[in-house]
Structure 1
Amino acid sequence: MPLRYLFATLLLGTLAHAASDGTVPFTPDLNDWLVEQMPGGHVTVANGALVIEDVDGCTVWYRHRLVAPVEITYDAEVVMHGGPCDRLSDLNCFWMADTPREPAGLIASTAHRTGRFTDYDSLATYYVGYGGNENTTTRFRRYTGTGARPLLPQHDLRAPAILLTANRVYHLKLVARDGRAEFWRDGERIFSYADPAPLRSGYFGFRTVKSHLIIRNVHITTAGDETLAPHAR
Structure 2
Amino acid sequence: MTTRRAFGVLAAGAALAAFAPATVANARSSTSASPRPRRGRLIAADDFRHGLGQWAVELEKGGAVTASRGVLEVDVPAGATVWFKRRLEGPYVIEYTATPVSEGGVNDRVSDLNNFWNAVDVRSPDDLFATPRGGALAEYDYLKTYYSGYGANYNTTTRLRRYVGEAGVRPLIYDYTEPLLVANEPNRVRIVSDGSTVRWWNNGRLVFDYADPDPYTGGHFAFRTTWSHFRIEGFRVWRSVGGR
TM-score, length-scaled by structure 2: 0.78
Q: Following the alignment from structure 2 to structure 1, what is the Cα–Cα distance between the partners of residues 74 and 110?
A: 13
Query: TM-score of the superposition, structure 1-length normalised?
Result: 0.82
Question: Which stretch shifts more, 142-151 or 84-93?
Answer: 142-151
Runs of 4+ in structure 1 over 3 Å off = none
Cα distance in 1 between the residues matched to 2:116 and 2:87? 13
**Is residue 12 from structure 1 mapped to residue 40 from structure 2 by the alignment?**
yes
Q: List alignment gaps of at least 5 residues for structure 2.
A: 1-38
Q: Which amino acid aligns with 1:179?
A: S
Which consecutive residues of structure 1, in runs of 5 or more, have no partner in the other structure? Answer: 1-10, 224-233
Residue of structure 2 equivalent to 1:3: none
Residue 27 of structure 1 deviates from its aligned partner by: 3.8
Q: Which amino acid aligns with 2:42?
A: T
Report the secondary structure of 1:55's partner residue.
strand
1:29-40 alignment runs, 5 A limit? 29-40=51-62
CA distance in 2, matches of 1:47, 1:94: 25
Contact 2:51 2:68 in 1 (8 A): no
Sequence identity, in percent? 42
8 Å contact from structure 2 (residues 49, 68) kept in 1: no
Residue of structure 2 in register with 1:156 after alignment: 175
- 1:1-233 matches, within 5 Å, as 12-15=40-43, 18=44, 23-109=45-131, 112-147=132-167, 148-152=169-173, 155-159=174-178, 162-222=179-239
Give the match for residue 6 of structure 1.
none
Report the structure, 1 or 2, having the larger helix content.
1
Q: Which amino acid aligns with 1:165?
A: V
Distance in 2 of aligned mates of 1:103 and 1:70? 20
**Per the alignment, in what secondary structure is the counterpart of residue 107 of structure 1?**
helix
Residue 139 of structure 1, CA deviation: 0.3
Name whichever structure is richer in strand by fraction.
Answer: 2
| CA displacement at 1:174 relative to structure 2 | 0.8
> Bigger CA drift: 40-49 or 194-203?
40-49
Between 60-69 and 40-49, the greater mean CA deviation after superposition: 40-49
